[in-house]
Amino acid sequence: MKRVILKLSGEALAGEQKSGYDDALIADIARQVKAIIDKGIDVGVVIGGGNYWRGRSNDNIDRTKADQIGMLATIMNCIYVSEIFRSEGLKTNILTPFECGSMTKLFSKDRANKYFEKGMVVFFAGGTGHPYFSTDTGIVLRAIELDADAILLAKAIDGIYDSDPKINPQAKKYDKISIQEVVDKQLGVIDMTASVMCMENKMPLMVFGLNEDNSILNAMTGKFNGTVVTV
Ligand code: UDP
């Protein structure tokens, strides 16, 4: 692989605390990302917003406004995680689909490629920039546009199951599954819009638990305990 885009869910980033940030966990992610970059592989990062805000779950305010808050939450997450990455010796830059003054730079494919060439970790913050989408759709869009080889989905759960293991103790984990099956069975590992985009554009996914030792590195090297989604 030459280029991967890593998705960290906001929830997984918060670790045991369920909100805010687990700094030790983020420093460990930085160490793993550095090891990947040192092998000459480009790493982009997309972060969700679930540790701050879940736009869609709040019925009291307009959906568009709730989603705007959600997009801003993903930017705050990227600023925080980017700083920890820098303190761990990585070079970083944050791109957003809309202007945020001097806090981030406006996304373009050329700009992202320029930063990748400089060995930087590129954070894609603010999702797609549009309400009614998710960071799942955002990551698939960036991965396709930037010709990534795969999406690495680091989650609070260690792979894709045939039903929710929190509800069904007999739930079975898939080692491998096709994206067609993910769509047909509505497995919900990423939302439906994002799944269909992966299917149409042949973008494979590796799904694994963020809290397992070296899980990001293992996903890259094949020593992998999660689920591979084939296209
Ligand atoms: N969001 C949005 N458009 C996008 C990306 C994100 O409106 O293109 C909003 C949406 O409200 C979402 C929130 O940002 O609930 C946080 O993103 P997401 O739910 O994907 O985060 P995660 O669940 O992965 O932490």
- Using one digit for the tens of pLDDT, what is the confidence trace for 129-177? 999 999 999 999 999 999 999 999 999 899 999 999 999 999 999 999 9
CATH of the domain at 41: 3.40.1160.10
| Across 73-90, average pLDDT | 97
* Residue 67 in contact with ligand 1 by CB distance below 6 A: yes
As a whole-number percent, the residues of the chain with pLDDT over 70 amount to 98
Structural domain for 157, as ranges: 3-230
* Residue 111 in contact with ligand 1 by CB distance below 6 A: no
pLDDT at 55: 63
Q: Which atom of ligand 1 is nearest to the CA of 126?
A: 5
Residues 6+ apart with CB under 8 A from 46: 5, 6, 7, 8, 74, 123, 124, 125, 135, 138, 139, 142
| Across 86-108, average pLDDT | 98
* Residue 97 in contact with ligand 1 by CB distance below 6 A: no
Return the best residue to mutate from 67, 124, 132, 145 for the ligand 1 pocket (most ligand atoms within 8 A of CB).
67
As a whole-number percent, the residues of the chain with pLDDT over 90 amount to 82
Number of domains in the chain: 1
Kindly list the distances between the CA atom of residue 41 and the CA atoms of 130, 133, 162, 188, in Å, as whole numbers in the listed order: 30, 28, 32, 29
* Cα torsion angle, 87, 93, 97, 98, sign: positive
pLDDT at 15: 82
